[in-house]
Amino acid sequence: MKFPVWFHRLGSPPTFYRFAGRLMPWCFALAALIGAWGLYGGLVLAPPDYQQSDSFRIMYVHVPAAWMSMAGYAFMAVCAFVALVWRMKLAELMVLTAAPIGAAFTLITLVTGSIWGKPMWGTWWDWDPRLTSELVLLFLYLGVIALAQAFEDRRAGRRAACLLALIGVVNIPIIHYAVTWWNSLHQGPTVRVFGESTIHPDMLWPLLAMTVASKLYFAGSLFARTRAALLTQEFKTHWVQQELSGDRHV
């Protein structure tokens, strides 16, 4: 299988560095604007839930963070596959730069889930299938980060981390389908890509806005972290010296 020419060009460190530099501020700006709009809609405009009253509003942080924790790991697995099969160094690097961001989203998911669970379930934590598999996801993120640092040979560490990222992706469908496969304290899905969502439209649009904002923030953070990692990794190369000096035509 051959990738298109544009994909190979984007995999070039200097090309990606400049591409990410152009998109990064747009991602952060749009994430802030859309996130502010979503939070206002969720915290102020959305009506109280008929069962949970106003305590349900934490879902505007919890649910987008949970979706992003899974999407972030799926992204890592794709990058790991590309890195292991086609030996693309940039893909290896993006596995490592995405891992701390995904771990942060997973931690936010677990913390907000515990805060939400206390008034709903009467406990901060329960070994619920979805909660447990989300905790496993956090350990997988941390495992990828730790494994990359566990080898003296940096390339060997990165390849081992990529292998763990690829193996760990089996946990993503477990998280997603946990409420269907097992008896779970979590409610069933109310937002559906295919089919009609059961959540009220006034509650749905702020949730979707926060979801988009979380994706944009992830992208912006990924671009920022990868650019910084490229500067460190390629510090002695000519293109980095050009970037740092502000002269791209030398």
104 lies in a domain?
yes
| Distance, C-alpha 63 to centroid of its chain | 13
51 lies in a domain?
no
Burial class of residue 85 (count of CB atoms within 10 Å of its CB; 0-12, 13-18, 19+)? exposed
1 lies in a domain?
no
The fraction of the chain above a pLDDT of 70, given in percent, is 88
7 lies in a domain?
no
217-242 residue pLDDT tens: 999 999 999 999 999 888 878 888 88
What pLDDT does 219 receive? Answer: 98
50 lies in a domain?
no
241 lies in a domain?
yes
250 has pLDDT over 60 = no
- The domain tally of the chain equals 1
The average pLDDT across 103-111 equals 97
The fraction of the chain above a pLDDT of 90, given in percent, is 62
188-198 residue pLDDT tens: 566 665 556 66
Residue 174 lies in domain: 15-45+56-245
8 lies in a domain?
no
The average pLDDT across 59-81 equals 97
Reading the block at residue 160, the tokens are 């081992």
What pLDDT does 82 receive? Answer: 94
What pLDDT does 3 receive? Answer: 60
The average pLDDT across 60-66 equals 96
73-83 residue pLDDT tens: 999 999 999 99
How far apart are the C-alpha atoms of 75 and 218, rounded to whole Å?
11
Q: What is the pTM of this model?
A: 0.91
Q: Is the dihedral of CA 41, 42, 43, 44 positive or negative?
A: positive
How far apart are the C-alpha atoms of 194 and 204, rounded to whole Å?
15
204 lies in a domain?
yes
